[in-house]
Structure 1
Amino acid sequence: MSSLARLLVVGLLLMQKEVEGDFSNPHGCPSSCICASDILSCVNNKLHQLPAVLPHWATTLDLSHNVLAQLGNGGFSGLPRLQTLRLAHNQLQQISEGAFWNASSLRHLDLSFNKLEVVEQHYFQELVNLEVLLLFKNSISRVDSQALAGLGNLHKVYFSLNLLTNFPFFSIQQPSHPLLNTLDISSNRLRTLPIEKVKVLPANVKNGLYLHNNPLTCECSLYKMFLHWEKLGFGSVHDFREEHTCLVYGEPRAQVRFFRHVRIFENCTFGPQTEAPEDSLKAFVGEPLLFSCNTSFNRAHTTYVWITPHQEFIAPPGNANKTLRMYNNGSLEIKEAQMEDSGVYVCIALNHRLLLNETREVNVTVLTRRYEEESFNTGLTTLFGCLVTLVLILMYLFLTPCRCWCRKQPNPSPANECSAQSSILTTTPPATTEGPGRKASTTKHVVFLEPIKEVQNGRLRVVLGRDHPKIQQLKSDTDSITSVLSDAPIVP
């Protein structure tokens, strides 16, 4: 009886513990983790392996800053809704095949700051919806050519701060990765680049292909490619212009900057452009713009698709908001161009008979007419100002009021001159000059006689005698001395 009683007591205790455990953790959140809504955080818990039970409702799982060394098969199979997985700052060296089985909803995977040495082709093959992959700050020296195969929704991949000496650029050609716009291979150990394979990459990939801080050997073809990217305004060169360096003759101690030490490349011969230049089109705001996808394929067995600068796929008949229209022959029409329509448009032509594809890039720039209108207004204003000035000059010449000389004078004697303050213009110099203030030139045919003035109490006073006949005449005149002054010449 005593043994049976002990068994009953132990059973009751176990049942009580299980009930209490279920009550304290009703959603199955691991005891070492923090659960908040659909987020499961197990950060900095010194975990050597994944928790045995993970809640199926989690969409974000943070396992960073632990000591995980390996991801086993099916470790995340119980998380069908998982979209973000953070495994940074661990000790990961191996990812088993099938580690991400049943985790196809995953979109963001952070494996940075680990000890991975190789990226094998089976690592991510289940992650068909993956968009962002972070692998920087590992010890990766090799990437399998099929490591990124099947990741058709991939947008950004980061391989910086590793030990890569080469990279399979051919594996990221369109249409296998039509949405890829960022590939960071900076700060690795690349000494040479397959220039011809890099050149044929789509413009949206080259715009985000970061190659700076690599021990590249200085070559004319490499310098020419970076120079071309700079002219096109690619962010991969523009944002890290000073960090693009190379080694003269491959010597580590002879490092130079591509865009500063241009004399290193002054002997390079730039022949005909071997890289297919992007077509450039310009349009004004509100105008329609039509451009075609010219390829070497026969249109009878070819289908086309366009990718806009905003990573939007366009197929016939056009986009959802009907601002873009696409025709079956591959032509794309922007009905009313706007400033946000500027950028590089990529056309992908797929030939089903030849099982080949070609791409074509069109660089579209949408401008406003503001500058033209301003220049037109400026020219019109200048013309109007000239006309007004000309009218004023004509009015001055022909409509000046007649003050003195046009009046009929009773006695045209010198004493009846209109004003002693008038400027006198004569064609011959006078015989004598009266007064100390009068100036006459004896060497010229035209003589200007300045009036004799004196200033008294701030007013001009005519220096003439009180009994002078001119003064007598002015006293009887209704006009004052100042009103008689005129700029019109006196014609004798």
Structure 2
Amino acid sequence: MQELQLLCWAVLLGLGLGQACPGPCDCGEKYGFQIIDCSYRDLEAVPPGFPANVTTLSLSANRLPHLPEGAFREVPQLQSLWLAHNEIRKVAAGALASLGRLKNLDLSHNLISDFAWDDLHNLSALHFLKMDSNELTFIPRDAFRSLQALRSLQLNHNRLHMLAEGTFAPLTLLSHLQINDNPFDCTCSIMWFKTWALTTTTVSIPEQDKITCTSPHVLKGTPLTRLLPLPCSAPLVQLTYQPSQDGAELQPGFVLALHCDVEGQPAPQLHWHIQTPGGTAEIASPNVGADGRALPGSPAASSRPRFQAFANGSLLVPDFGKLQEGTYSCLATNELGSAESSVNVALATPGQGGEDALGRRFHGNVAEGTGCYTVDNEVQPLGPEDDVLIIYLSRTRGPEVAAVGHRASGQQPLRLLLLGQSLLLLFLTSF
């Protein structure tokens, strides 16, 4: 009997310890909710020992500097978490991920610049998210993709410069958005938000006269509601042959020349991606000056890089050979998106059967009424099924430039020039 009594006491004590309240906090129950109040305690870390059944936790008005991974792993049933008026600068990955039942989250009035946005993907029950008065500089495009239940979002008084198009599209139940007092760059990337806020959405967006431009300087202080339409367009690229290299001094020998014609507003940034047997080369254009020499500060190892990207969109490959075979891609990017055009380049030298094989295919297609046709020394594919283009290079009294043909997806085939007597044979397969 005595042993049974001791066992009962042990069980009761164990249950009591399991429901203990952390020393610095006040714990209670109200309307069926288990509430813990740890606010105004000068805490510098989240205290351990919370009961597992707590549903409301306040840590507001403390001195918490950051939220580490697993900070709230003890309270998986939490529905409301108040963390306003702390000194939080970083919310680490995994700090909030365990709170799948959370409905209310207040992180306002902190110093947060480093936030684990991926943690929000686990908070699908969230109704209220308050992140105003922090140091946030950007929001990933997919940050709110799982928050279909969110009703209220406050992002005002941060340092947001831009918003990715579609940022708020997943928030189908959103009724209230505060985003005023951010230093927005009023360029093409913000125009979608103006259209969405003024004409598309039914979400209440208060203080719209305080959603203003910080840059460019000529628009500083202009409310987004009065921002005039800007001439904006996503990038377009076309990979072509360009004979002029702005006076570049070419080395003797065969030179493969590509030119990337780019359109778009704002002016797109140009980037080359080159895949060869020796590996991958990533080149931010330009990497050379008009004389073909590496620009100061360029990572090129030699004074004349083997891939020379010029400011006018041209790319030269001096002394083109087997080691330079591969896929050449031109990528243009601006605030509104990106566009890419690619071409596969392979070399077939005389005497290896490459010229005869390509020649037979060319003439066979012509005999069948398909393939390519020639007009004034130009070669043009007749249809999208013709994926073999022939290029001839020649060495005469000085350096010559290879003429390059390319057919990009959704575009008409480009012209191909034939230069002089053939010494080498190139064939291009575009896609």
TM-score grouping bracket, smaller chain normalisation: 0.3 to 0.5
Higher strand share: 2
Q: Which has the higher relative contact order, 1 or 2, with Cα contacts under 8 A spaced 6 or more apart?
A: 2
The higher radius of gyration belongs to 1
Q: What is the TM-score normalised by the length of structure 1?
A: 0.39
